[in-house]
Amino acid sequence: MEYTTLGNTGTTVSKLCFGTWRFGRETGDLENETDREEAHELLDACRDRGINFIDTANVYGNPDGTSEEWIGEWLEDHDREDFVIASKVYFPFDGWGEPGPNDSGLGRKHIRAQIEGTLERLGTDYLDLYYIHRWDDDTPIEETMSVLTDLVREGKVHYLGASTMAAWKLTKALWTSDVEGLERFDVTQPMVNAAHYDAVGDYLDVCADQDLAVCPYSPLAGGFLTGKYDRAEDGSVEAPDGSRGDFDDVFEDRYATDRAWDVLEAVESVADEVDASPAQVSLRWLMDQDRFTCVPIVGARTTDQLEENVGAVELDLSDEQFERIDSARGDGE
């Protein structure tokens, strides 16, 4: 495993982060994508392969909080100090019943309640990283950053992170922290992958300028960049049974664009040259970003998938191979 400093912090993490959004999650067939036993096996596999960075959220699993609970159970048999644990706050939390009017958002009351629940479920006194899961338009950012600052100064949280939002909102939050003498965001978690073209360019420019670490979710474009999907003659996606493209109605619009197929072709050509899988090349492309620290979040469902993901650490992409993928993305335009 390779390790890196997490942006401008003093914490060292593995070059891959393990995401646990599948833990206890239910899809259309009403079955857990990853059950409790499988979750613990995957966490064991992470430890054995040197992954020390684990990502969760208070709303992962059914009911909400299941993912945190299963991680907490696993941590009971391991040294908490060996791991960097991240969780999140924002969405309505139903773990204690039907959400009430203050059971969502980034107001002081909700954040205070959720950090206590998160720490209890994880069985720990502190989080290494606490993300705001989304931006709250109804709460002044001064209030949000103030209560998050209190959590840091009380020792309940080490660093702060921000997930998906507009670049100007991220900039506003950083400016507010600087002006008010509050803790600032050190880590971000946008959706970034070689095939994705959502409007994250300005957001990543802010991250590069402010030395914020980027921990992208969906680094394999929902499985599109694994190469397991084919393009039908009519341009639609031919998805294997049970795959995300088979049951996710937005899969084609979000991931399988015309340009994404060009990217996949470039990724597959590089994979052939370096004797690796398309997934490994896609992850290495992210890890090799030089404008900011980039630590992809992998959400493997099996230990075999995790083993394949970890294989990305062993790859070396040449400048020409890296730029070939960039060119397919249209990054030079």
Please list the active-site residues.
60
3-state secondary structure of 84: strand
| Inter-residue contact 111 to 159 (CB < 8 Å) | no
Amino acid symbol at 215: C
Residue 262 to residue 256: CA distance in whole angstroms: 10
3-state secondary structure of 85: strand
DSSP string, 244-262: HHHH-TTHHHHT--HHHHH
Strand spans (E) along 153-274: 157-162, 185-188, 213-214, 230-231, 237-238
Amino acid symbol at 180: E
Amino acid symbol at 50: G
Six-digit token pair at 313?
Answer: 């650490």
Strand spans (E) along 3-137: 3-5, 12-14, 17-19, 53-55, 84-89, 127-132
> Is the Cα torsion angle 18, 296, 217, 140 positive or negative in sign?
positive
Residues with Cβ < 8 Å from 173, sequence gap 6 or more?
A: 141, 144, 145, 162, 184, 185
Strand pairing class (17-19; 53-55):
parallel
Six-digit token pair at 64?
Answer: 């909400």
Amino acid symbol at 178: D
**Residue 163: closest CA among 92, 108, 220, 213:** 213
304: part of which helix (H) or strand (E)?
helix 303-310
